Chains A and B, each alone.
Chain A
Amino acid sequence: EDQVTQSPEALRLQEGESSSLNCSYTVSGLRGLFWYRQDPGKGPEFLFTLYSAGEEKEKERLKATLTKKESFLHITAPKPEDSATYLCAVPSSGSARQLTFGSGTQLTVLP
């Protein structure tokens, strides 16, 4: 059964304090890993796609990396506006269009 596990569930950082979020997955034949950001009361917003181990993608203060078993979302010198829930997802073994989401990491960046 496909599984996506994210840790920690919640993370509080001071502004400027860098850290990483983890997404570990169990899926047969990885066909990509996707990161989303979700703000309270809004729908998830697509951030990154990673396809192969060793791949990295960057956007502003965020950098996503991928290994054969997990992905990390590194946040460098975060700002309060980076506060959100970060979700990762993988296509299911059965259908590439069906995403299995993790439960997310709720990030709070304090000023």
Chain B
Amino acid sequence: DTAVSQTPKYLVTQMGNDKSIKCEQNLGHDTMYWYKQDSKKFLKIMFSYNNKELIINETVPNRFSPKSPDKAHLNLHINSLELGDSAVYFCASSLQGAGGEQYFGPGTRLTVT
């Protein structure tokens, strides 16, 4: 049973394209997150949703738009991809009152050429 799943695992695309990454969790958590991990392995929060409501929106380009159709899903759509968007993107989830104990997906490695 996969707790937090992401698709696709690898995404190779050209500059200027639009792409989406999907995330689903079956843990019954009510808070979900998107992180970006760069080549130096720094993990940085991008967005967080609680019960489908956006609660954290770090300074990311507005080309990135999260969408949460329900508590178990949080998708990330990226418009007009740039070379600098290349990174590994992780989805995570947690219970509302346990923000530090987060469960991560396997990651999506995005390569923009």
A residues neighboring B (CB under 8 Å): 32, 34, 41-46, 49, 85, 87, 89, 91, 95-99, 101, 103-104
Contacts and interface: CB of A to CB of B under 8 A. Distances in A.
B56 A45 contact: no
Contact of B43 (A42, A46, A87, A96): A87
B101 A46 contact: yes
B101 A43 contact: no
Contact of A34 (B55, B100, B107): B100
A89 B100 contact: yes
Nearest to A45: B104
Contacts of B101: 34, 46, 49
B4 interface: yes
B90 A49 contact: no
B44 A97 contact: no
20 contacts: A42-B107, A44-B90, A44-B102, A44-B104, A45-B104, A49-B101, A85-B41, A89-B100, A95-B99, A96-B99, A97-B31, A97-B48, A97-B55, A97-B56, A98-B45, A98-B48, A98-B99, A99-B100, A101-B44, A103-B40
